[in-house]
Structure 1
Amino acid sequence: MSPSSDSRLRKFQLRRATRISLLVPVWFLTLHLLALLLFGLGFLLSRPVLPDIATKSASYSGADVVLPRAFKRAVVVLIDALRYDFITGSGDWDGTYYSDALTTPLMLSVSHPENAAVFKFIADPPTTTLQRLKALTTGSLPTFVDAGSNFNGAEVTEDSWIGQLLSSRGKNRVAFAGDDTWLSLFPVLAHGTYEGKNLTFPYESFNVWDLYTVDSGVTSHLWPLLERKDDWDVLIAHYLGVDHAGHRFGPDTPQMKEKLLEMDTMLKTLVDAIRDDDETLLVVLGDHGMDEKGDHGGDSKGEVEAGFFWYSSRPFLAPVDKAETINQIDLVPTLSLLLDIPVPFNNLGSPIVSAMLGPERNFQTLASAFRIVSEQIYGYRSHHPSFDGTSEVTELYSAASEAWNTSRDYVRISELYLEFQKQNLKTCREMWAKFDVPSMIAGIVLFLASVVSLIVFYAAFDGSIECASDYLDLLAANAGCGALIGLAAGTGLGYLRSRLFTATIFGLAMGSILGFAKALHSLSSVNVKSPVSKWTGLALLSIVLHGILFASNSYVVWEARSLSFLLVSFGFILLVASFRLADTKLRATAVFHSIVFILQSRIAEYPRVCREEQLPFCTSNFYASTASSVSSLPALVVLFGTALAFPAIIKSFLRTSASYEGSAPLWVGTGLRVALVLVALYWTLDYVEADPKSQANVEQIKMYKYVVSRLLFGVTVVGAPLAWFRGVPLCLRVEVTNNQEKIKQAVQDGDVDTASKTSPVSVEIIGFGNTYGSLYMLLFLSIFAAVALCLKPVGGIAMAGMVYQILTLLEVGDALELFASSPIVIPTIIALMGTQYYFATGHQATLASIQWDVAFLFTQSIRPPLTHIALIFNTFGPFILAGLAVPLTVFYKLSPSPRDFRASEATMARVVQAGTGAMIYAGGLTLINCITTIVLRRHLMVWKIFAPRFMLAGATVLVIDVAVVAGTFFAGTAIGAVYDVFG
């Protein structure tokens, strides 16, 4: 075989080894995904929906039935995120700006108590718009998992007052203007016309940086629609400016006051427009409130306490206390009765007492309304299989019905029916917290099996090429065969036990794991070494110590501080080990970087966004203020400083191995610095845009922002990686020295041996000792720049600190020779750092901490995939970088072995082995989280604390696994590029 043919064969074999190596992390990723799916299906249950449609039963008529006079039409104004104190101007939220802005509702309720009233309107969490709209139209309760559909709204298939209105009128007579979420829930509204005239005017809803477009559009259509009042039965106007002002600036800001004053002006005009129309009912409500920072999604007081106000020129209310509280779902039966349509079949709300009593305080009307709604709820219970075993609630209904038939004490009858409705609602809230325990256990067993398999793989796969070539081939073949057998067995068992989906998934995954065990047994040449060296044991202990935090709601709330303690403790262990090094220079290097690691672990604890449960013992410092989502000016100054200093730090690390050569100065010294300066420039423009003084030039500023963000995204995510893959020169410099003079001098001196041994030309490769590490570092830094762009300024600074801390850890690991003695420990600690920096970038294990405004980093509207990439990089950036940093634990200060094909394959095998460290951390942590979650599933804080933390753990394991897969692929490319040069 010719040398060229042999070289091509070796390259082909190396590429094949890379592809086979990718099968390992992909397989474990699949196992984690299936385990997470099983556990999630058992824990995050969705509410069953009945398709039945309500009709008017006999309870709507009869000699004893007296119902309130119906309205001919209704105007429903939904002011998104209208918090209760926004319309009362008092209470615990003592705002400076908003307390006297939206005053019309309270003034009317005081001056005309029979025509108008203000209520505290309690929302059921999750307090996201889509879930609230479902509840406000169907009267049903959401479940926690429903929050995930807020950006993927599905059509409402259950009965609703909108559906009842359309069917009872025989045509679409619902006019609409505002948030287009309504159209995803009720697509029929998109075709709203009457006699050829358009009745529907939707606007895109999620651009939280836009305070004006939607509101101006809604108002511009509202007045013409009011003039065409004979064309519609219900007019819905959904305003978004208050919600967007909260997300962008916070509730207690001049921008919020401006929006509330605008809403007050609109309501005054609206009330004047219907003042002489006693057939029109005006309903003004908030779908949810907002917390002290202007966000929502959770269940804090500010988020669940929305405002509600209604008005009619016709007296229709019994005077009520302005502090009266009602549930949001109570609007559904009340509005249905006031519009003379059937109460939706799935409704769980109760009629609002003051509207049913009326100004005459007629308790017969109230009792009639309660009877109709109770009969509807009883019918729903009768059709729902989940209500078996709740006979005590049914007995309440029987007692109330008997009182209706035998008594004329309408006050007592009303009390009995109301008690039935309250107990039913309580039962439903408890019932939809039931869990599918077998699915949860199946998920835990699968997680356990996958983590054990990871540990065994790490122990057996010693990184030698003999192990790689045999082990990976057999793993792929046996795991595949086992999966097919398990799939067949699981499907058959699931069919017999009526758990087809759970058994099929479980059988598929466990079959592949058993196939893996068979492959391990077949390799008699593989000697499984003990995975518990002192450093490996420390890595596994860190996973356990982190995981047991999930057994306490207090530790989950303060998780960031606990992680800081764990990392600092690990840093002190490194420091002690560093002092034991014999080499003076090596000891000084290791001690210095150990101290830096400890300090950086403490510094990373500083930036924070406090969650509700941490108050008042925590102060947020991530934004300009605790009630704002805008970054502070000092943070921008530090961000510019970071942009200038960080490349110099990277340069110093590369110079320790003489690797700041070749393409490194251009890539790091120029490219990275320019990219980070552009990141700082983007957030400076964002800061200027948020300044009220810049509103005149806001459109021009937005244009500059999008130019900067798109340019930087194109360079960091597309341009730089593409250049890297197409063959960026290595970070090397070749020095050629002519030794002719040296040889001549040796001959003249009579030193024949020196002359004969000296080559006429000597070649020295500068940077050879870190060939792999420096090459991979270029791609890693490009992705870091892209992540930094998607983070708020303080988050970008924190991520630069994370990269610095990773490099210090690599230096210590190199000095202590940890990469060889325990390949798992450094990847595990880096993954642990990923969780710490998740908190340092302004996130918490809560829905409210998701920085949704970053979705519009590149565009003014939602544009996949840019919107999704921005959110993913923003939320999971630390985990992405942690997974991608894994190959550096193998590559750092690693030189190639020229013409040694086996060494290149062995390097790839070591990358795969190191990847198991991060995957063991992510999988083990999620396993412990699942165990604590199933044990604490009846805990008072399960939905507020433990469920969000489980969702974060599930997302973490998938993101880290995917990043490890990507890092393994990139590492294979780097190994191939180096082999092309030195092979």
Structure 2
Amino acid sequence: MEADQFETSAITRRIAKQQQMQQQARTKVKQQKLRLTFMGYVIVLIFLAIVQIIGVAFFSMGFLLTRNVLPDIADCNINDSCIPPKFDKAVLLVIDALRFDFAIPIEGSNEYYHNNFPILNQLAQKDNAVLLKFMADPPTTTLQRLKGLTTGSLPTFIDAGSNFDGDHIDEDNWVLQLHKQNKSIACLGDDTWQALFSNYINPDLSFPFDSLNVWDLHTVDNGVIKHIFPLLDKSQRNQWDVLIGHFLGVDHAGHRYGPTHYAMKEKLNQMNELLIKIIAELEDNTLLIVMGDHGMDHTGNHGGDSLDELESTLFMYSKNKKFNKKDKSHYDISDKGKNYRWVNQIDIVPTISLLLGLPIPFNNLGYPIDEVFSNDLELAQAAHKSVQQLHSFRIKTPDLSSKLNEDYLSFIQNYTDHGKDKTRHQDLVEQAKRYQFTSLEECKSLWATFDMKLIYIGLTILFLSLTFLLTYARSIPSVRVSTMSFEFIGSVIAMCLLGLVISLSIYIVLKPVDFSLNKCLATGAAAGIIIGFWAPVMDRFSLNWLWHQTIDFFLYNFNSYSFAGLLFVFSHCVIFASNSFVVWEDKMISFFLISFGFCCLYGVSIKTGLPKEQKILGLMHALTFILLTRLTSMIDLCREEQRPYCVPTFISSWWSILLLHGSTYILPAMIMSFYNLSGSYHSAAPLWIGTGLKFLMFMNAAHWSIEYIQNSDYFNANNIYISTALLKSLNLAIARIVLFVGLILANYSWSKGPLCVKLEFSQNEADINTEENEEVDVPKTANILGYGNVYGSSYFLLLLNFAVAIMLVTKPLGAISLNMLIIQILSLLELYDLLNIRKNLVAPIIFGLLAYQHFFSTGHQATLAAIQWEIGFMTTETIVFPFTHLNIILNTFGSFFIVCLAIPLITLWKIVPSNKPITVLSQIITNITTLLTYIAITGLSSLIFAAHFRRHLMVWKIFAPRFMLSGLLIILLNIFIIIVPLAFGTGKVVTQVNRIFGK
């Protein structure tokens, strides 16, 4: 009997073991299938990203203008193009961002940037000095301005992108001409000069300093001061013929503090005292030129074309030469700069060249400045040389050579006949000016010629990628998409290779002059990828089937929320049809979001079947979302076109620092309350939220508190000593710790960490109520706390890791905005669950609108001037790749990155572990691709209207920067979503939950 029992027990164990092995095998197969499906999705999205990046690249090449530089070099021996020099030496001092009103008296003003640099205006009252308003050409970035100040040509918009990559100038310029005449050039300060003119500057007299650390006000200026006075000493004057000094303190004070800060007064006073000392050291035969390369706006930034950014300063002085002052009737009248004449910045190029006996650079478009020539005869001679140079340039330039010939011949004839007649000199000068002005306007028109072929190719590629993205996201059922991923991959690879071969063959046979090999291959690759996507769809389904799928979607899945989502997308797209709407995009986005908040409020109030507690909670979530959206909309960094109807509130002040410290405790408490709603505040959650998040947010607040103390006027104005070196080192340490923990250590720990669940054992009360002395075995029941939100609670911790790093590189009010963004996201997730709209297309669209709203509320606009370059130096003292660039990217696009991380939560929030993880993954992909579709649609609309309005007066001020923002979003968000939320975040959570709870 015992033997039979033993044998039965053995058989039972074997059967149980076999069943366990079969279950493990099934689980292993499921996990392997999940990994393969996941890998397929990632590869498909990578190919889609490649196509969209190619489309953006083609459009950008056609839209962002470039200039064909003529290689010719002017020569004194050609057409007798030089005149005897008036000066033997020149000292050129560039005070970066010296706005014109910084240098002239402004009565009654108490601003720190007024009346603290008086020496220029004082000397200009004499006959041996002249002070002029110096009008820059946009873009007002230093590299482009230096190109214009040395070559006399106009930069195109694409040049702005190379401001941090100063390539050697490959066109004629007066620095090159000095070198040709064996003149020695000393250069001190901004290292941009070294990058542009390294072949021409005397290496023994070159002292460059890093120019892009805008938080450093003194290193460059102190370096110039250290070296300039020894070079001005009598014993070393013979070592140089032209001395260039480029000061950056004023510009950096503006970038860091704005023009209204006490630091601006200190820098202007320093420049004033320095100039007095330099003038005392000058020789009689030396020309002193002091200039700004651009101005700055009310925030201290530059790059655009507002009046404050364009108005700079030009001052010229000589100890014994008189200048030909203009009559006051020739001067403009304005609030800032009354009775001061204005000249174009490119006019300095022929002026310097003629004064130093150089030929005018071949590509110059400027005209000599009247004041520096002491009489009308000299001015007529300068006009003659200028017209000769302009004509030489015109006859070598396509589309210009046949124009204005008669005007040129008329001027030459008049100069030949009347050049010695004093009474006709003024007429000759006026005729020359008209010729130069007409030439300049023609060149501006010529360089505004867009390559429509590349623009259309780019738009076509983006449109075709969008059609598949729409089909992939919504038309094909998500379950079928998961089974087709590898069909897409094989087809795409095959068709991509075919496209490359065909495009290469076409290039070899046709050899198109205006279409390079790279462009041909990119076109073939894009076409092959798109055809490769559509081939499996057409093989598996027909267009008729897809059409019916779309109709079924609208008939059976379409409701008021779907209609609202489509309405928001359509409204956002048509914004780009008007420059006024683009300017006020931030307010329109807020209106869309508040409207959706009221839709949710109404939806919860009328929803039947909800318990009373759930309904009250839903109403509170909707009201919270509406309130936070309204508060966020009140944080403004007004762009120039919004004034005076917009009052900027995005400022750093003591109360914003206090709010930042308060949020250190408020945000973790709010997140904890949301976790408690689903019983998920267990295991990893208290460590991440109660300890880690709170500590890192405190570090962020401490960083910005120290920064506020360093920037405070109070300590500077009252001469209270603060060890700036110690505070700077402490701030660098804090920033590095937070970014390292937030982006690396916390994410690594999260990838290895546990889920936010807890196993709790409980006993039945009836079994416990036994007699005191009775010994019984009381059965226990196991409960898994947090089981109902096991996916979402764990994944949300990843979002917090990145959010806290992004908050660090965001200014205080911007960090407060991101705090509200996180609560808005959690409120929306609860509303999506209550209203059962997590699968509705409106869900990811509202997340996309949230990203845009917080882009604006973190101190950004679709303008170059709004880029917060100074944030790049939070973790480094100089430019260090990739840290400097990473800071700026996180600062600019941080809200979009947080929203991209939150998109999987639409599916994962408040769902129990599924025995069909592929279905969960498919729903995540649907929401991700819907967000990418929204970004692509709005981006394509922006590009289309930018191309349509390419001749619009506001194209470079409004439409071009907005298209650039759209292009960057398409590129960055595709890359980020694939790498972080999908490959790293979703993959880890879904596979871990499936491994633990899967069946």
Q: Normalising by structure 1, what TM-score? A: 0.92
What secondary structure, in the 3-state scheme, does the structure 2 residue paired with 1:505 have? helix
Instruction: Determine the structure 2 residue equivalent to 1:855.
Output: 872
Q: Which runs of 5+ in 2 are unaligned?
A: 1-17, 329-338
Kindly provide the CA deviation profile for residues 591-625 of structure 1, in whole angstroms up to 9, marking residues without a partner as x: 322222222221111011111111111111111xx
Instruction: Determine the structure 2 residue equivalent to 1:462.
Output: 477
Instruction: Determine the structure 1 residue equivalent to 2:185.
Output: 174
1:873 corresponds, among 867, 887, 890, to 890
Q: Aligned pair 1:81/2:97, yes or no?
A: yes
Kindly provide the CA deviation profile for residues 106-157 of structure 1, in whole angstroms up to 9, marking residues without a partner as x: 11111x22x1100100000111111111111111101112111111211111
> 2 CA distance for matches of 1:384 and 1:189?
27
1:288 corresponds, among 277, 291, 294, to 294
> 1 CA distance for matches of 2:58 and 2:259?
40
Instruction: Determine the structure 2 residue equivalent to 1:567.
Output: 593
What secondary structure, in the 3-state scheme, does the structure 2 residue paired with 1:296 have? coil
1:468 and 1:906 in contact (8 A); partners too:
no
1:82 and 1:288 in contact (8 A); partners too:
yes
Kindly provide the CA deviation profile for residues 497-552 of structure 1, in whole angstroms up to 9, marking residues without a partner as x: 54345454333213211221111122249964325423444323311101111111
Q: Are the structure 2 counterparts of residues 189 and 11 from structure 1 closer, same or farther at C-alpha, using a change threshold of 3 Å?
A: farther
Q: Are the structure 2 counterparts of residues 424 and 804 from structure 1 closer, same or farther at C-alpha, using a change threshold of 3 Å?
A: same
Kindly provide the CA deviation profile for residues 630-656 of structure 1, in whole angstroms up to 9, marking residues without a partner as x: x10000111111111001111111111
Instruction: Determine the structure 1 residue equivalent to 2:387.
Output: 374
1:396 and 1:419 in contact (8 A); partners too:
no
Specify the code of the residue in structure 2 equivalent to 1:445: T
Instruction: Determine the structure 2 residue equivalent to 1:548.
Output: 574
> 2 CA distance for matches of 1:564 and 1:761?
53
1:403 corresponds, among 409, 414, 418, to 414
> 2 CA distance for matches of 1:816 and 1:963?
30
Q: Aligned pair 1:240/2:248, yes or no?
A: yes
1:383 corresponds, among 391, 396, 401, to 396
Q: Aligned pair 1:962/2:975, yes or no?
A: yes
Specify the code of the residue in structure 1 equivalent to 2:797: L
1:260 corresponds, among 253, 262, 268, to 268
Instruction: Determine the structure 1 residue equivalent to 2:114.
Output: 99
1:648 corresponds, among 669, 688, 707, to 669
What secondary structure, in the 3-state scheme, does the structure 2 residue paired with 1:284 have? strand
Q: Aligned pair 1:187/2:198, yes or no?
A: yes
1:59 and 1:371 in contact (8 A); partners too:
no
Instruction: Determine the structure 2 residue equivalent to 1:778.
Output: 797
1:86 and 1:98 in contact (8 A); partners too:
yes
Instruction: Determine the structure 2 residue equivalent to 1:684.
Output: 705
2:811 corresponds, among 787, 792, 814, to 792
Specify the code of the residue in structure 2 equivalent to 1:54: A
Instruction: Determine the structure 2 residue equivalent to 1:612.
Output: 640
> 1 CA distance for matches of 2:409 and 2:499?
51
Alpha-carbon shift at residue 788 of structure 1 (Å)? 0.4
What secondary structure, in the 3-state scheme, does the structure 2 residue paired with 1:819 have? coil
> 2 CA distance for matches of 1:948 and 1:819?
34
Stretch deviating more after TM superposition (732-741 or 634-643) = 732-741
What secondary structure, in the 3-state scheme, does the structure 2 residue paired with 1:88 have? coil
2:576 and 2:945 in contact (8 A); partners too:
yes
Q: Aligned pair 1:206/2:173, yes or no?
A: no
Q: Aligned pair 1:432/2:447, yes or no?
A: yes
Specify the code of the residue in structure 1 equivalent to 2:629: S
Q: Are the structure 2 counterparts of residues 695 and 305 from structure 1 closer, same or farther at C-alpha, using a change threshold of 3 Å?
A: farther
Kindly provide the CA deviation profile for residues 205-250 of structure 1, in whole angstroms up to 9, marking residues without a partner as x: 1222222222111111110011211001111111111111112222
Instruction: Determine the structure 1 residue equivalent to 2:405.
Output: 394
Residues 678-717 of structure 1 correspond to what in structure 2 (within 5 A)?
678-692=699-713, 693=715, 696-717=722-743
Instruction: Determine the structure 1 residue equivalent to 2:11.
Output: none
What secondary structure, in the 3-state scheme, does the structure 1 residue paired with 2:861 have? coil
Alpha-carbon shift at residue 314 of structure 1 (Å)? 2.3
Residues 746-895 of structure 1 correspond to what in structure 2 (within 5 A)?
760-820=779-839, 822=840, 824-895=841-912
What secondary structure, in the 3-state scheme, does the structure 1 residue paired with 2:404 have? helix
> 1 CA distance for matches of 2:90 and 2:264?
28
* Total equivalences in the alignment: 937
Alpha-carbon shift at residue 161 of structure 1 (Å)? 0.8
Q: Aligned pair 1:56/2:73, yes or no?
A: no
> 2 CA distance for matches of 1:317 and 1:491?
63
- The percentage of counterpart residues that share the same residue type is 37
Q: Are the structure 2 counterparts of residues 865 and 69 from structure 1 closer, same or farther at C-alpha, using a change threshold of 3 Å?
A: closer
What secondary structure, in the 3-state scheme, does the structure 2 residue paired with 1:236 have? strand
Instruction: Determine the structure 2 residue equivalent to 1:622.
Output: 650
What secondary structure, in the 3-state scheme, does the structure 2 residue paired with 1:622 have? coil
Q: Aligned pair 1:21/2:32, yes or no?
A: no
What secondary structure, in the 3-state scheme, does the structure 1 residue paired with 2:961 have? helix
Q: Aligned pair 1:336/2:353, yes or no?
A: yes
1:208 and 1:853 in contact (8 A); partners too:
yes
2:176 corresponds, among 141, 163, 166, to 163
Instruction: Determine the structure 1 residue equivalent to 2:468.
Output: 453
Specify the code of the residue in structure 1 equivalent to 2:279: V
Instruction: Determine the structure 1 residue equivalent to 2:628.
Output: 600
What secondary structure, in the 3-state scheme, does the structure 1 residue paired with 2:646 have? coil
> 1 CA distance for matches of 2:112 and 2:845?
48
Q: Aligned pair 1:42/2:62, yes or no?
A: yes
Q: Which runs of 5+ in 1 are unaligned?
A: 624-630, 750-754
> 2 CA distance for matches of 1:743 and 1:604?
54
1:68 and 1:365 in contact (8 A); partners too:
no
Kindly provide the CA deviation profile for residues 818-846 of structure 1, in whole angstroms up to 9, marking residues without a partner as x: 123x2x32111101111111110011111
What secondary structure, in the 3-state scheme, does the structure 1 residue paired with 2:181 have? helix
Specify the code of the residue in structure 2 equivalent to 1:816: L
Kindly provide the CA deviation profile for residues 155-187 of structure 1, in whole angstroms up to 9, marking residues without a partner as x: 111111111111221x6x111110111112122
1:669 corresponds, among 690, 693, 696, to 690
Instruction: Determine the structure 1 residue equivalent to 2:278.
Output: 270
> 2 CA distance for matches of 1:128 and 1:695?
35
> 2 CA distance for matches of 1:250 and 1:382?
46
Alpha-carbon shift at residue 784 of structure 1 (Å)? 0.4
1:882 and 1:960 in contact (8 A); partners too:
no
Q: Are the structure 2 counterparts of residues 546 and 740 from structure 1 closer, same or farther at C-alpha, using a change threshold of 3 Å?
A: closer
Specify the code of the residue in structure 2 equivalent to 1:673: K
Stretch deviating more after TM superposition (68-77 or 684-693) = 68-77
2:472 and 2:481 in contact (8 A); partners too:
no
> 1 CA distance for matches of 2:163 and 2:188?
20
Q: Aligned pair 1:980/2:995, yes or no?
A: yes
> 1 CA distance for matches of 2:987 and 2:542?
26
1:933 and 1:950 in contact (8 A); partners too:
yes
Kindly provide the CA deviation profile for residues 692-726 of structure 1, in whole angstroms up to 9, marking residues without a partner as x: 4265311111111111111111111111001111x
What secondary structure, in the 3-state scheme, does the structure 1 residue paired with 2:826 have? helix
Alpha-carbon shift at residue 316 of structure 1 (Å)? 4.2
What secondary structure, in the 3-state scheme, does the structure 2 residue paired with 1:202 have? strand
Alpha-carbon shift at residue 307 of structure 1 (Å)? 0.6
2:611 corresponds, among 584, 590, 612, to 584
Q: Are the structure 2 counterparts of residues 222 and 695 from structure 1 closer, same or farther at C-alpha, using a change threshold of 3 Å?
A: farther
> 2 CA distance for matches of 1:739 and 1:525?
60
Alpha-carbon shift at residue 100 of structure 1 (Å)? 2.3
> 2 CA distance for matches of 1:94 and 1:332?
34
2:431 corresponds, among 393, 402, 416, to 416
Q: Are the structure 2 counterparts of residues 578 and 377 from structure 1 closer, same or farther at C-alpha, using a change threshold of 3 Å?
A: same
Specify the code of the residue in structure 1 equivalent to 2:354: L
Stretch deviating more after TM superposition (308-317 or 737-746) = 737-746
Alpha-carbon shift at residue 86 of structure 1 (Å)? 1.3
Give RMSD over aligned pairs.
Answer: 2.4
Q: Are the structure 2 counterparts of residues 159 and 766 from structure 1 closer, same or farther at C-alpha, using a change threshold of 3 Å?
A: same
Kindly provide the CA deviation profile for residues 280-329 of structure 1, in whole angstroms up to 9, marking residues without a partner as x: 11110000011122111111111101011011112142123561211111
